[in-house]
Amino acid sequence: MTTKQELSGKWKSIAGAVKKKYGAITDNDLRRAEGDLNQLAGLIQQKTGQSREQIEAFFDECCASNDSLAGQAQQLASGATESLREGYSQATEQARRGYESTVKTMSRHPLESTGAALGLGLIVGVLVGLSIGAQRERDLAWHQRWGR
């Protein structure tokens, strides 16, 4: 039979399984017996006529299936963690190779690299400036724009 400590985390799933298997057990019955398997077993026995052993075996099945579900969830979580680690390692390696390639290219062609960086920076700066100016223009009231 399941101990009270084991039951505390499994009550909701046991209650759901009881409602599914024993339609005669109501929500009020479950609320009255909450956390007390002996009382719940007595209610089931009274309403269904099943033996105490059958009811206790059913409770044990419920708890065992919960344990196997928890084990499956844990396996899935550990598999996901491993996949994340693998992906992180691959991304790190790819970034390292990209960095090394960039350093090599810049050391072979320093003037071209500097010119390209300067040109790209100039283009980005102009685009950001235009964007900020356009936003400020939109923020002006119509009479402020009219007076310009």
**Domain regions of the chain by residue span:** 4-82, 110-148
For the chain, what's the residue count? 148
49-58, 72-81, 116-125: which range is least confident on average?
72-81
The CATH number for 4-82, chosen from 1.10.10.10, 3.90.79.10, 1.10.357.10, 1.10.1470.10, is 1.10.1470.10
Tens-digit pLDDT profile for residues 62-109? 776 555 555 556 667 777 888 888 889 999 999 999 999 989 988 999
Between the alpha carbon of residue 71 and those of residues 60, 63, 68, 101, 129, the distances in Å are: 17, 12, 5, 45, 57
Between the alpha carbon of residue 53 and those of residues 1, 19, 37, 59, 64, the distances in Å are: 10, 19, 13, 10, 16
pTM (whole model) above 0.75: no
